[in-house]
Chain A
Amino acid sequence: MAPVLCANCKTERALIKRPKNHAKLCKACFITVFEDEVHHTITSSQLFYPGEKVAIGASGGKDSTVLASVLKTLNERHGYGLELVLLSIDEGIKGYRDDSLETVKRNAVQYDMPLTVVGYDELYGWTMDQVVETIGKKGNCTYCGVFRRQALDRGAKMLGIKHVVTGHNADDVAETVLMNLLRGDLARLSRSTSIVTGDDQSEVKRSKPLKYSYEKEIVLYAHHKKLDYFSTECIYSPEAFRGSARGLIKQLERVRPTAILDIVRSGEDMARLVPGDSPSSCACKGQNTASSAPVEDDIGGCGSSSGRTPGNEMAAMDKQLRENEAHEELEIDVAKAMSERKLNGSEKQRDLPIRNGNSASKGVARQVRGNCKRCGYMSSQDICQACMLLEGLNKNRAQIQI
């Protein structure tokens, strides 16, 4: 079989077949196109400003490693003027993070970026090992999950950095869209498609520059650029994978590779129907900077943050907690958005009855999403979940000391 030539340069042998458009490209052209598309996402959604200090949530896994590599390349090539640093979270579980942290340390040298590893002990005064010592093994996942959700933001705050980027890719976004669609949770779907979370009021903004990048291409980019990344031990269990949203995404991709980006786009389009949000991220479609309401979304910086690791008890618990909280927030959110719209009266469009996962009726907005009175992290409650758990832990410690 004669080798297929690259559709772009027409001289080199094609090694990649792009899932989004079936284009057959050689290694060099693929790498260029991949980088150009991320650059396009960054510029069209005005993700950064010159001189901005940006922390890359780094786990040593493929997504965050590719993100660090691409951002370094683009920052130099296009003169973004960014000050890039790596930020990793250490839960304080002996042995659990050793290999991935070693990878991140090598990445710091390879990309010439300063690395900060923030431990749960620094952020919360407790390592996970200490939590387990105090409360036992049962339920410790709850703590880890709640702590992880805030860890990157808190870590960035410690460093005086206001923008954290994470390696969430198109498959991650498609998975979230699908899960929220299956739940009938259009309002949350709207937020999950947004490239930026957190607004001017929030202390730390988060964004996902790889939002339109296929996971397959991320892996191929890492492979062809010979990037040094770490694959966590096998934590996905086939039982849970089968029939999961992630499994469905991968099967759809197998049949029709464009499906992943189609789901992402559909998610964005549906999001436009949700009152109060402006989730489109690409300026090409006539929107400016997209910034949706802050949401405590699933950014763990540890590689086990999304539904793709259902075998992991920690992740599962984390997810459940997140859902409960998100649903609660959402009711407030939608009610507020709707009442605001009625007040301006400028909108002719009729309010759509947006359902969320809990079909309980929504009254008047009882509370605006605010910040935790103790730590300042965004929370729908006076005291955020992390602070509640810490209070319990600290009481426990006091008792033990007495």
Chain B
Amino acid sequence: MSGATETAEIPITVDFSGGLEMLFDNQRRHSVSLPAVDANGKPATIAFLIDYLCKNLMQDPRAELFVLDNHIRPGILVLVNDADWELEGEEAYEIQPRDNILFVSTLHGG
């Protein structure tokens, strides 16, 4: 891989709902330019995205409402282009340009 791809970015949209928008500036939809590869030069996965969001997009100090023990908190659903991420390989799914990733909490009252 050349140096050019290492600095390349993937344009995606990230949505938060079910109360999670509160952790991200009270905004449901965010346009994100995600680095195409992680620190080890591996293609960006959802695991990488989650870490990236915590470090770069989250306004709220309460990261534990989003991740627990380095994984997405149980009770938060992840949809990749409207499909349950369990159908897409979960954390290992490699992010594609123009993907929409939705994080929705089931933990709020109803």
Contact = CB atoms under 8 A, between A and B. Distances in A.
Nearest to B108: A231
Interface string A137-157: 000000000000000000000
Given A62-B108, A238-B62, A16 B77 contact: no
A234 B62 CA distance: 11
Contacts of A44: none
Interface string A205-243: 000000000011011100110000101111110100110
A17 B60 CA distance: 31
B39 to A, nearest CB: 25
Given A15-B87, A17-B87, A59 B22 contact: no
A65 B110 contact: yes
A20 interface: no
Interface in B1-56: 17-19, 22-23
A64 B109 CA distance: 10
Interface in A50-76: 59, 61-66
Contact of A59 (B75, B87, B107, B110): B110
Interface in A295-309: 302-306, 308-309
A219 B109 contact: no
B106 interface: yes
Interface size class of B (residues with CB under 8 A): 20 to 34
A203 interface: no
Contact of B110 (A13, A63, A236, A254): A63
Interface size class of A (residues with CB under 8 A): 35 or more
B88 to A, nearest CB: 7
Interface stretch (A245-253, A335-343, A347-355, A368-376): A245-253
B77 to A, nearest CB: 6
A37 to B, nearest CB: 18
Contacts of A319: none
B19 A234 contact: yes
B99 interface: no
21 contacts: A1-B89, A13-B83, A14-B87, A17-B87, A24-B87, A61-B108, A63-B109, A64-B110, A219-B104, A223-B104, A231-B108, A232-B109, A233-B19, A234-B108, A236-B108, A238-B68, A250-B74, A250-B107, A302-B109, A306-B109, A309-B109
Interface of B: 17-19, 22-23, 62, 64-65, 68, 74-75, 77, 79, 82-84, 86-89, 102, 104-110
